[in-house]
Structure 1
Amino acid sequence: MSTVRIGLSGWRYADWRGRFYPPGLPQRRELEHVASTFPAVELNGSFYSLQRPSSFVTWREQTPPGFTFAVKGGRFITHMKRLRDVRTPLANFFASGVVALEDRLGPVVWQLPERTAFDRPTLESFLALLPRTTSDAARLAQSHDDRLRADPWTEVTTDRPIVHALEPRHASFAEPGALDLLREHGVALAISDGAGRWPLIDAVTAPLVYVRLHGDTELYTSAYRPHVLDAWAERVRRWHAAGHAVEVYFDNDVHAHAPADAQALMSRIPDLALPGPGAPVEPTPRRRPR
């Protein structure tokens, strides 16, 4: 059965406290609060640097069954190496503990720089390297090098599929050749709304439809207007009716617009959107001084 998950891009934002997070909620329980409200979140830290297996284990343990993390691929691979000669960096990325999320592991999303145009040989080589199961990822992880400063994680208890999404920000990826290549490899085109800063390429290339919403009129800053959310709700309905799983992540984090907009989108499709699988989180009561 196709699922619809509406979630957030990241969860550690100071100005969400008192807006989305209840006053007095300890920072260590913020992820727990997210999981009580939404069924998924994008893990952003993995984009900026290699994480430690212990961190992935902690995030798994802090969330209930049914919750998933979409994991952002490392910018060393996408922005510094520009997808070229990346077998070892990919091994480092997966050895850092991604598969330790186990049943909490959702899609892996690869965000490209705005200036990166479609280059067929480069993209084809990259897509061919991507592991499609957690066992494949564990085998690839064995090729890590000394950039990985923690013990590698190569343990797989249950073999699971790994789904990938690619977020291009260049108009050339709207060309049939680029879309056909993604379809050939079963990789989802991440439909990315960047408030007009880059083209919104509305195309479906895989069983999963992956959407990233970075801001309505101002990148990362503006809330989505009601009629725009209505339009996104209709798109989700159309994709779901066609048999696709759909995941939508809000990245307009300023002033806690992301959680508000995500809840507003969920309210427009209550018959489709999965709820947060966790119980509501209350702040830890403060002890009275004696």
Structure 2
Amino acid sequence: MRLHVGCAMWNLKSWQGRFLPPTIPQNERLRAYADWCNAVEGNTTFYATPARHTVESWAQQTDDDFRFVVKLPKTITHERRLTDIEGELRSFLYAMEPLGHRAQLWVQLPGSFSPADTGALPDFLRKLPGSQRTAVEVRHRGFFDDPGSAARLREALAETGAEWVTFDTTAIFASPPTTDAEREAWEKKPRMPRLAVALTDRPIVRYIGRGDAVEAAEGWRFWLDTVEGWLVEGRSPTVFIHTPDNTESLGLARRFHEELRTRLPALEELPDTTRNEPLTLF
């Protein structure tokens, strides 16, 4: 029984000297992060496809069961909207090859990608390697407010074995912001209904919590129940924990895993953090 947990990045200045060593060479930062979590969001790939040797370094710094959920470049998803992308897609897939089965491709679509555009998805997803795990994130309210549109999206994803990424911002919008980081999140994060979806054996949850660690943990109770159910069903979920400034997210991701292990003792443990762990996390 395995649960993957992680954050939106593998290095943050506020983590160093607290969760991670105070100084870390650039080529060792992912390895240090992997002592805490067993998954990470690959958000940097949205802005530019990295060199293949860079991705080879990522593979060398992580164990075989580490999970990368890597975002397709914005030129493919946002600028060309899944059409005329063969060259860019080929370059991206070549760069990601060193990750092998550890990579799950993440197709994050813009808010302007509406239910009327759903028909473009199966054709695009068929261009991806059949052996490659894929997940799609949509942000248009029509997919959440209209059951028919949601059903058509599910069908489109099922045709190619793709997952529907759940992006939960309900906790951050549950009460007015109290910090600058929360105010910025209110301005930039989409207000999306919470929807728990598991179309494959690898569902993905992106949870956005409050800046305070206690409040962030209180807000994920729904996901503790949901992910527990998925694990009991034999699925292997990935849960990413965000906070507005992500200062607490690394410790919180591990805490989420520990709370589920209390419920499910058979859940595989995360790596030992004894050498890096501070006296108290919260």
1:181 and 2:156 correspond: yes
Per-residue deviation, 1:216: 2.4
Q: CA deviation at 1:280?
A: 5.3
Q: Is the 8 A contact 2:41 2:68 kept in 1?
A: yes
Aligned residues: 248
Instruction: Indicate if the aligned counterparts of 2:19 and 2:276 stay in contact, CA closer than 8 A.
Output: no
CA separation of 1:108 and 1:8: change in aligned 2, threshold 3 A:
same
* 2-structure distance, mates of 1:36, 1:280: 9
CA contact (8 A) 1:5 1:273 kept: no
1:264 aligned residue = 255
How far apart in 1 are the matches of 2:266 and 2:225? 12
Deviations, residues 136-177 of structure 1 (Å, cap 9, x unaligned): xxxxxxxxxxxxxxxxxxxxxxxxxx1100011112234211
Aligned with residue 199 of structure 1, among 170, 187, 193: 193
Equivalent residue, structure 2, for 1:146 = none
Whether contact under 8 Å (1:250, 1:262) holds in the other structure is: yes
Inter-CA distance 124–18: structure 2 relative to 1 (3 Å threshold): same
Cα distance in 1, alignment partners of residues 44 and 235 from structure 2: 28
CA distance in 2, matches of 1:241, 1:183: 22
How far off its partner does 1:180 sit?
1.7
SS in 2 for 1:202: coil
Q: 1:5 offset after TM fit, Å?
A: 0.8
**By how many angstroms is 1:111 displaced?**
1.1
Are the aligned partners of 2:39 and 2:68 in contact in 1 as well (CA < 8 Å)? yes
TM-superposed CA distance for 1:6, in Å, is: 1.1
| C-alpha distance in structure 2 between counterparts of 1:61 and 1:268, whole Å | 30
Q: Which residue does 1:129 correspond to in 2?
A: 127
Greater shift, 239-248 or 223-232, is seen at 223-232
Corresponding residue for residue 11 of structure 1: 10
Please give the alpha-carbon distance, in whole angstroms, between the structure 2 residues aligned to 1:272 and 1:10: 28
| 2:183 equivalent in structure 1 | none
SS of the residue corresponding to residue 208 of structure 1 reads coil
Percent identity, aligned pairs only, is 26
* Structure 2 contact 110–139 (Cα < 8 Å) conserved: yes
State the AA in 2 paired with 1:229.
W
Give the alignment partner of residue 216 of structure 1, picking from 192, 198, 209: 209
Q: What is the CA–CA distance in structure 2 between the aligned matches of 1:273 and 1:115, rounded to whole Å?
A: 39
Question: Against the structure 1 CA distance between its residues 80 and 199, is the aligned structure 2 distance closer, same or farther, given a 3 Å change threshold?
Answer: farther
> Are 1:165 and 2:159 matched, yes or no?
no
Aligned equivalents of 1:62 and 1:231: distance in 2?
Answer: 33
Is there any run of 5+ residues in structure 2 with no aligned partner, and where? 145-149, 174-190, 278-282
State the SS of the aligned residue for 2:82: coil
Unaligned runs of 5+ in 1: 134-161, 284-290
- CA–CA separation in structure 2 for the residues paired with 1:90 and 1:200: 31
Q: Which amino acid aligns with 2:118?
A: R
Show the counterpart of 1:107. 104
| SS of equivalent residue, structure 1 residue 179 | helix
Q: TM-score, normalised by structure 2?
A: 0.79
2: CA distance between counterparts of 1:61 and 1:129?
28
State the shift of 1:281 in Å: 5.1
The AA in structure 2 aligned to 1:108 is: L
| Separation in structure 1 between the aligned mates of residue 273 and residue 14 of structure 2, nearest angstrom | 23
How far does residue 98 in structure 1 lie from its aligned partner after superposition?
A: 0.5
For the structure 1 residues 277 and 264, does the alpha-carbon distance in structure 2 shift closer, same or farther, using more than 3 Å as the test?
Answer: closer
CA distance in 1, matches of 2:118, 2:246: 40
User: What aligned pairs does 1:31-180 form with structure 2 within 5 A after superposition?
Assistant: 31-95=30-94, 97-103=95-101, 105-118=102-115, 119-133=117-131, 162-174=132-144, 175-180=150-155
Contact map agreement 1:73 1:109 (CA 8 A) in 2: yes
